[in-house]
């Protein structure tokens, strides 16, 4: 056969394939059955076989099949940063800057949608082989973010479908309505307003929490809530603090430290206005109060028992305060009470400038003192530290995993393990007894310095995708939610992750100190050490459940302005079970809190003795 003729046939065949491919894409789009979606802002058509999910001013469309990236989302934005076209343009520039950190290729184009000015960003992430676009449209002080993402194959296969969807959009002549402000200022709440706040709190707890009635039955909760409503209805008016004292015990009864009615904002406001607070740090042992630290310079010795404050017995004060504090396990409730005792005293007993304190000294003699309130107790900022309590022993104190301290944390950890390596330490102690949690990203960062084995921070995370969470909380693409159909629970089961190679990784004996102040992400770390047998846990049971609820959203009650925090996820420990307990130590130490404030650390001494005994045996 003539070579020239053969080449012509090959070229012609290739052109036919291309034509068929693109005509099939167009045919796929034209053969689709379409439905129409509309809201107060716009209408759009979408494939009838696809699912739809709505929440607030957001909507997402996606087929049940397809990758987790695949879908089409529209977000309606009416915030201050789009209140003018100039601000809208600045917002778009910021979107581009954010995309540059994750996208390998970006193309920007100025277009118009239904006669409205718009910008289009085409982005590609080569690492995950994801492709998509974002179109931001501006109309009447409102931005409409149209997002389409998918694998590269899905992007090309469905591009015509999305083009047709975008071309079908018609914007209405809408008016941006300002949200009604109900917040009461400068007066007490009426009984009706207080009951509306209580009902709002009740509704949001049930709507958002993934398993509200695990530790407190629905029947008991309903009876309790009705009692609260009756109590409020007997009053003509009620103050914010009075409402707090009625509702906080109800929220605390669900035994979830990530779900609480907070008083921190009101307390901080009180301090900013020059309010005075109790000048002693306390330690709790049983139902008794003791002095942990004296900020009033009153010469009351540490570990002195406090019998009463302003004529109220210590046991009664503790019983009253405990009711308001949300917690997982009892130890964590005690820790919260100790850490913020002046706040809880103010919240339950009101403003006081002076405090009459009755106390008992070691001889048994009872004395009294009149203490002047102080402006604030400055907490010592000591997030992380490295020391060497014995030869060949390194002690890392990690007091939080807060994301806002992420860079500081990573720098400290990198520097510490380099130093530990240079000193040839054979034993490492990690102290998490005062660690209230933070982010699992930093948990992983530290953990990878002490393991060579594949690991996970949790076995699975269950997200309850309530309307409130989708509208106000952690961001989920609604197209991703649409794939779930009628289900509103998203379950993520992470694969085991292989730790990064690191020349400063620690390979000696590892001891992790835990106790009632070990909470949330710090419990994650302890559970990982326990479940993957990475080291020895010493101390007391953690203050938080090993499988716990987290990722709280903040909700402002409409009239009082009190902040309700509600957990949105359930995290299952790496071992894959939930027994309603904290992480238990391998070596239990019965800690006397009075010995600790007097300088004797029983848990640390136990570990140091274990190391000495091991060296003697060797």
- Could you tell me the mean pLDDT of each successive run of 10 residues in the chain, 618 residues long? 47 45 46 92 95 90 88 91 91 84 82 94 82 93 93 91 94 79 81 97 97 96 97 95 97 97 95 94 95 89 96 96 96 96 96 95 93 82 90 96 88 97 97 95 96 96 91 78 84 92 95 98 98 98 97 95 96 96 97 94 97 80
Q: Which two tokens stand for residue 103?
A: 């996208």
* Start-to-end CA span in the chain (Å): 86
Based on the domain organization, do 428 and 493 belong to the same domain?
A: yes
Q: Write the Ramachandran bin of 149: left for phi over 0, alpha for psi from -120 to 50, otherwise beta.
A: beta
Q: Which of 317, 337, 372 is the last residue of a domain?
A: 372
Residues 6+ apart with CB under 8 A from 536: 509, 510, 511, 512, 586, 587, 610
Based on the domain organization, do 493 and 434 belong to the same domain?
A: yes
- Report d(CA 618, CA 613) in Å as an integer: 9
Indicate which CATH number applies to the domain containing 116: 3.40.1000.10
pTM (two decimals)? 0.86
Based on the domain organization, do 316 and 413 belong to the same domain?
A: no
Number of domains in the chain: 4
| pLDDT score for 272 | 93
Residues 6+ apart with CB under 8 A from 320: 348
Burial of 217 (0-12, 13-18, 19+ CB in 10 A): exposed
List pLDDT tens digits, range 439-497: 999 999 999 999 999 999 999 999 999 989 988 766 678 888 888 877 788 899 999 99
Q: Residue 595: how many CB atoms within 10 A of its CB? A: 13
Helix (H) or strand (E) holding 608: helix 602-617
Based on the domain organization, do 306 and 439 belong to the same domain?
A: no
- The C-alpha angle 159, 160, 166, rounded to 5 degrees, equals 90
- Report d(CA 617, CA 483) in Å as an integer: 60
Based on the domain organization, do 566 and 469 belong to the same domain?
A: yes
Mapping DSSP to helix (H, G, I), strand (E, B) and coil, where does residue 429 land? strand
| pLDDT score for 289 | 97
Indicate which CATH number applies to the domain containing 567: 3.90.226.10
| pLDDT score for 18 | 43
The answer to whether residue 238 is domain-embedded is no
Indicate which CATH number applies to the domain containing 292: 2.30.42.10
The answer to whether residue 228 is domain-embedded is no
Q: Residue 364: how many CB atoms within 10 A of its CB? A: 6
| pLDDT score for 24 | 45
Q: Write the Ramachandran bin of 576: left for phi over 0, alpha for psi from -120 to 50, otherwise beta.
A: left
Q: Which of 337, 372, 407 is the last residue of a domain?
A: 372
Based on the domain organization, do 89 and 60 belong to the same domain?
A: yes
Residues 6+ apart with CB under 8 A from 243: 189, 194, 197, 198, 232, 560, 562
Length of the chain: 618
- Which domain range does residue 560 map to? 384-617
- Report d(CA 174, CA 413) in Å as an integer: 54
| pLDDT score for 5 | 45
| pLDDT score for 19 | 43
């Amino acid at each position: 056969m003539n070579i020239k003729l053969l080449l012509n046939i090959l070229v012609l065949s290739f052109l036919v394939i291309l034509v068929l491919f693109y005509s099939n894409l167009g045919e796929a789009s034209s053969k689709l059955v379409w439905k129409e979606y509309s809201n107060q802002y716009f209408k759009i058509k979408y494939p009838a076989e696809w699912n739809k999910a709505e929440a607030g001013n957001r909507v997402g469309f996606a087929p049940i099949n397809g990758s987790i990236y695949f879908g089409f989302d529209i977000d309606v934005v009416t915030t201050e940063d789009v209140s003018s076209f100039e601000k809208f343009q600045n917002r778009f520039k910021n979107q581009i800057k954010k995309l540059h950190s994750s996208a390998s290729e970006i193309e920007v184009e100025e277009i118009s949608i239904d006669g409205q000015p718009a910008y289009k960003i085409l982005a590609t992430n080569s690492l995950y082989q994801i492709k998509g676009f974002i179109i931001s449209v501006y109309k009447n002080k409102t931005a409409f973010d149209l997002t389409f993402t998918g694998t590269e194959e899905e992007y090309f296969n469905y591009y015509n479908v999305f083009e047709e969807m975008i071309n079908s959009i018609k914007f209405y002549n809408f008016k941006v309505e300002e949200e009604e402000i109900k917040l009461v200022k400068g007066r007490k709440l009426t009984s009706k307003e207080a009951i509306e706040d209580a009902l709002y709190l009740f509704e949001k707890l049930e709507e958002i929490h993934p398993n509200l009635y695990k530790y407190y039955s629905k029947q008991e909760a309903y009876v309790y809530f009705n009692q609260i409503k009756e109590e409020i209805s007997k009053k003509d008016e009620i103050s914010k603090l009075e409402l707090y004292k009625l509702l906080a015990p109800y929220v605390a009864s669900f035994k979830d430290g990530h779900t609480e009615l907070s008083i921190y904002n009101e307390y901080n406001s009180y301090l900013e206005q020059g309010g005075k607070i109790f000048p002693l740090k306390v330690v709790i042992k049983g139902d008794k109060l003791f002095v942990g630290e004296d900020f009033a310079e009153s010469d009351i010795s540490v570990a002195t028992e406090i019998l009463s404050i302003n004529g109220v017995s210590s046991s009664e004060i503790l019983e009253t305060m405990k009711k308001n504090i949300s917690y997982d396990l009892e130890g964590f409730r005690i820790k919260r009470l100790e850490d913020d005792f002046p706040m809880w005293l103010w919240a339950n007993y009101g403003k006081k400038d002076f405090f009459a304190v009755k106390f008992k000294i070691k001889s048994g003699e009872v004395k009294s003192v009149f203490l002047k309130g102080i402006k604030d107790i400055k907490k010592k900022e000591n997030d992380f530290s490295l020391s060497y309590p014995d030869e060949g022993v390194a002690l890392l104190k990690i007091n939080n995993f807060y994301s806002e301290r992420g860079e500081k944390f990573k720098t400290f950890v990198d520097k510490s393990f380099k130093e530990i390596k240079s000193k040839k330490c054979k034993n490492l102690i990690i102290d998490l007894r005062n660690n209230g949690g933070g982010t699992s990203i930093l948990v992983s960062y530290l953990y990878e310095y002490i393991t060579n084995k594949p690991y996970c921070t949790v076995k699975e995370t269950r997200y309850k995708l309530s309307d409130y969470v989708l509208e106000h909380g952690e961001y989920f693409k609604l197209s991703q939610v649409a794939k779930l159909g009628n289900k509103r629970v998203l379950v993520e089961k992470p694969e085991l992750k292989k730790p990064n190679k690191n020349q400063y990784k620690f390979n000696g004996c590892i001891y992790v100190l835990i106790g009632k102040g070990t909470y949330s992400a710090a419990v994650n770390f302890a559970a990982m050490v326990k479940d993957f047998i990475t080291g020895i846990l010493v101390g007391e049971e953690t203050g938080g459940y090993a499988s716990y609820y987290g990722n709280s959203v903040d909700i402002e009650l409409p009239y009082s302005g009190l902040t309700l925090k509600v957990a949105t996820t359930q995290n299952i420990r790496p071992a894959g079970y939930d027994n309603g307990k904290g992480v238990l130590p391998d070596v239990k130490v019965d800690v006397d809190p009075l010995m600790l404030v007097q300088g004797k650390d029983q848990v640390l001494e136990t570990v140091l003795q274990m190391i000495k005994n091991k060296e003697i045996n060797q």
